[in-house]
A and B are shown apart, each in its own frame.
Chain A
Amino acid sequence: MAPATQFEVAQPPNDAISAVVFAPDAPRRLLVSSWDKNLYLYEVAEGGEEASLVKTYEHRAPVLDVCFGANQDEAFTAGMDRQVKRIDLATGEQTVLSKHSEPVRCVVYSAQHSLLISASWDSTLHIHNTSAPALPILTIPLPGKPHALAASPSKLVVAMTARLVHIYDLPTLSTALATQPPTPPQPWQQRESSLKFLTRAVSCMPSDAGYATSSIEGRVAVEWFEDSAASQARKYAFKCHRQAAPEDEGGGDVVYPVNALAFHPVYGTFASGGGDGTVALWDAEAKRRMRQYQRFPESVAALAFSGDGKYLAVGVCPGFETGMEDYTGEGRTKVFIRELGETEAKGKGSK
């Protein structure tokens, strides 16, 4: 078996991490967005066990999310300054694509449909067609504040407050955007989250079959898109990222939020990262935990697999806990990259 190694990225962000993402077609290129108002571009060295900082892109306000665009030199960011920006990673040129009336929480890019979707706390989605920038932006009102956004090849999953989950059909969005004047389409499906608490993260299966959500209450749910009874009966949820509290504190469990989810692009297994500083690999089909990695020094804030599934990037920084008046991720924020063994993330398949 190929060795599994893990190393720390040099020159990590100076404050909390909001997202990590690998370029889909360049598995060594990593973007990290941070609350320190910068976007960081790293490159994992060929064959080596290190990753170095290539460039930083300064923003006006904390960067809340980042995603790659059509190629490895294009990226989009979601900003606390309410702007959705396109970043040319080669030149550093920044273009404002749209403005929300509240901070922008998430951005997601669908390469299949050349669509950029941004979700903001002003309870709207903005849909941009990046291949036809002249087209006006389509604004879709949402019934709640969005907290997580993810796209599969044909679907878009939006998780909001009050356990609302809307699933949009990307081709429908694409056609709605092209019609004049653009009319916001109805969601393809409206669901209530299987998790009782606030949704923390959403990630879609690369197979386009379903998605996983996680909540602040140490739980992950796996659901399928197909609306048949048989398919819906397959959905399940499980507890994770919990720790037994010491007896003298009354026992019971300390329940951590599950901050990050990421599906492996090749094997369809997925990783979850929690406030307890651990990352676990799960086999969604077999409903089994395959691995749990050694605890990281701080809460896991973000996770990403590289496009070829060879690397797993883990962004860690102090977790925000209830009642915190003051927060800083300064000096305690790190990015780890794990080079996975050949079969490390491969599930055994369902029994």
Chain B
Amino acid sequence: MGKKKRGHPDVEDLLGRPWCYYCERDFEDLKLLISHQKAKHFKCDRCGKRLNTAGGLSVHMNQVHKENLTSVENALPNRQGLDIEIFGMEGVPEEIIQQHNQRIIQNFYTAQAERQAATGNPPRGLSGDQGPTKKIKYESPEELKKRLAEHRARVKAGGGIPAPAAAPVDGLSPAQGNPPFPPPQQAFPYPPPGVPAYPPAATGTYPPSVSPPPGGSFPPLPARPTVGGPTQPPGGAPPYFYNGAAATADELVANAARQGGGGGGGGGVRGDDIDQLIRMAEAGIKPARTGEEAREGGVQAEKKKKGSRMVYADTEVSPEERMAGLARYRWVGEGVVA
């Protein structure tokens, strides 16, 4: 499909963008940033003259209008000072740069996680079906009730609130994409004390760095209702999570065994025979995967259809013709035109 590439930039691109010390806005290039600063922060409100720096504006105000400049206009509350000389990206204190980069990274991962959650697409650079499966939004009342009952039982028994369901299941762990910059830990020392700045962008929307589980053993998963299907029988084989391409040889073996085992013994069949393994891998896994893909494709197509709703959807008959057919407007006067 000739799908358009989405314009979601990389972290590097984002970090490379020049930005304004006074308002934290970022720009395509330095020229734009400088003209922004001249227009927004270094413009004289008396005569409209645009100066190059806050100091320049201060001198201009003093000499031309006999006034004292006290603060930079349109600046964030903690960035209004005249003591720092800023021109473009020059003069920005090192710790402020650090803070800005932190913020950009955090926002990037938050946005990425949200996008993935919203679209169900895998992270960039990962092939096809490795990514998170689409979040299932719909739960029937019965399922909800059942989940509530389960939750109550758990709370009663364990006394604890189960871990949030979203993180590991949805596979949003940024570690998967091997990003060049580690995502910041949840609580990072920004903003500095006493500084009213940005709200920490949606804390905890992505998991605090979950490392992929070694060798196919899955982290404990909270009960998630399987929609439309029977619940996994307890015990015996581990719950089958189709996780796309097997990450490790062990998993491949396990997958093959599960596929080959059919309705029978599940985990019991451990393929020692390499030939059999290969056969299974060829015969079993591949078709299974394409089936899975097809199903996912179907779900996505359905979603796309649902995605936009046309208020008027008749592609042949215009609204006016429909209205003309209503008794209220119908013309009956002449019958057949003479």
Q: Does B46 touch A at the CB level, under 8 Å?
A: no
Query: Which listed segment binds B: A87-95, A123-131, A320-328?
Result: A320-328
Are B308 and A254 touching (Cβ within 8 A)?
yes
Query: A18: which B residues are within 8 A, CB to CB?
Result: 320
Query: Which listed segment binds A: B215-223, B252-260, B330-338?
Result: B330-338
Are B322 and A324 touching (Cβ within 8 A)?
yes
Nearest CB in chain B: distance from A230 CB, A: 24
Within 8 A of A (CB), among B112-144: 118
Are A322 and B323 touching (Cβ within 8 A)?
no
Query: B326: which A residues are within 8 A, CB to CB?
Result: 326-327
Q: Does A82 touch B at the CB level, under 8 Å?
A: yes
Measured CA separation A198–B316 after assembly (Å): 7
Q: Does A319 touch B at the CB level, under 8 Å?
A: yes
- Say whether, besides A322-B313, A327-B328, A61 and B308 are in contact (CB < 8 Å): no
Are B309 and A255 touching (Cβ within 8 A)?
yes
Are B331 and A257 touching (Cβ within 8 A)?
no
Q: Does A161 touch B at the CB level, under 8 Å?
A: yes
A/B pair count, beta carbons within 8 Å:
100
Q: Does A101 touch B at the CB level, under 8 Å?
A: yes
Query: B313: which A residues are within 8 A, CB to CB?
Result: 216, 322
Nearest CB in chain A: distance from B162 CB, A: 24
The interface on chain A, measured as residues whose beta carbon lies within 8 A of the other chain's beta carbons, has a size of 45
- Say whether, besides A35-B329, A198-B316, A252-B308, A80 and B337 are in contact (CB < 8 Å): no
Nearest CB in chain B: distance from A182 CB, A: 21
Measured CA separation A240–B313 after assembly (Å): 16
Query: A147: which B residues are within 8 A, CB to CB?
Result: 318, 320
Are A253 and B308 touching (Cβ within 8 A)?
yes
- Say whether, besides A80-B329, A320-B319, A257 and B309 are in contact (CB < 8 Å): no
Q: Does A48 touch B at the CB level, under 8 Å?
A: no
Besides the contacts A16-B323, A216-B313, what 10 more A-B pairs have beta carbons closer than 8 Å?
A35-B323, A101-B337, A121-B321, A198-B316, A216-B312, A253-B307, A257-B319, A319-B311, A320-B323, A321-B311
Give 6 pairs: A residue, B residue, CB < 8 Å, sorted on A. A80-B329, A80-B331, A81-B333, A197-B315, A253-B309, A327-B328
Nearest 10 A/B pairs, CB to CB: A252-B307, A320-B319, A253-B308, A61-B331, A80-B331, A255-B310, A322-B313, A250-B306, A252-B308, A257-B312
